[in-house]
Amino acid sequence: MKLVQTSFLAAAAAVAVPASAATVFSTDFESGLPTEFSGQGSIQAPGTLPAASFGRAHLYNNTTTTGDAGASVLTLGGLAAHSSLSLEFDFLAWNSWDGSTQGFPQGDFFEVLLDGNLIASISPNNASGTLFVPGSAILTFGPAPYGFGDSSPFFDRDTVYRVTLGGLAHTSADAVFTFRVNGGGWQGGSDEAFGLDNIRVDALSAAVPEPSTWAMLILGFGLIGAALRRPSTRLALA
């Protein structure tokens, strides 16, 4: 029975191949707006944020329109077979964002959607309100004036979050990421805006075992089946 167990364990270990990841899109906006982007927003310098992190450009969106109509949209097509996606990016909350407590001017939300499904919601409280930030978003800079606030010291506060969204179930060859604002307190314009930078999308897929691996697995199961069919030998009692 040891041979059976050994063969089966070897086959199982060979099949347990770790998932592989491939970067399918990345941009730091230093070369302009990628063709995969549509909707609202323009390329601008990222204020006085550290050049080592944000270079000379980022995508700036100060829309006054909430929801999809004011969104910046990343559309990816022709993706190879995969089982999930991951998304990483810097979210720049410019000026007087007012946190998630409802009632104007509070209730400013930044949202991320994948194929129309909400996957992240963030509500910084640069100026007022209740901070709402999930564990997927880590504060990296601020609150401090980095260049897109107004002249008031109270409202001239900006924050930057590094957002990491992994394990996003997805198998289609096309993917649409929507970056938008929502909430009853949103004003946009010179009052508040959002920025995006250092975006990366990875596609993850389980590696396909090689033919030799399948052969080992079949052999293991075959030996187990043969062992189960073999009649047991018992000593007769005198």
> 3-class DSSP state for residue 221?
helix
C-alpha 117 chain-centroid distance: 13
At 86 the pLDDT is 98
At 148 the pLDDT is 78
Backbone angles phi, psi at 216, to 5 degrees: -65, -40
**Cβ proximity of 122 and 89 under 8 Å:** no
User: Per-residue confidence at 102, pLDDT binned at 50, 70, 90?
Assistant: confident
At 28 the pLDDT is 98
Convert the pLDDT of each residue in 6-24 to its tens digit.
Answer: 444 444 444 555 668 999 9
pLDDT reading at 123 higher than 60: yes
Q: Distance between CA 133 and CA 108 in Å, rounded?
A: 12
**Cβ proximity of 182 and 67 under 8 Å:** yes
190 compared with 179, residue with greater pLDDT: 179
Convert the pLDDT of each residue in 14-57 to its tens digit.
Answer: 455 566 899 999 999 999 999 999 999 999 999 999 999 999 99
pLDDT reading at 237 higher than 60: no
Q: What is the mean pLDDT of residues 131-136?
A: 96
Backbone angles phi, psi at 211, to 5 degrees: -55, -35
Domain formed by 20-206, architecture: Sandwich (2.60)
User: For residue 229, what is the DSSP state?
Assistant: H
Q: Is 181 exposed, middle or buried (0-12, 13-18, 19+ CB in 10 A)?
A: buried
Q: Is 59 exposed, middle or buried (0-12, 13-18, 19+ CB in 10 A)?
A: buried
Looking at the chain, the whole-number percentage of residues with pLDDT higher than 70 is: 75
At 234 the pLDDT is 46
Quick check: pTM over 0.95?
Answer: no
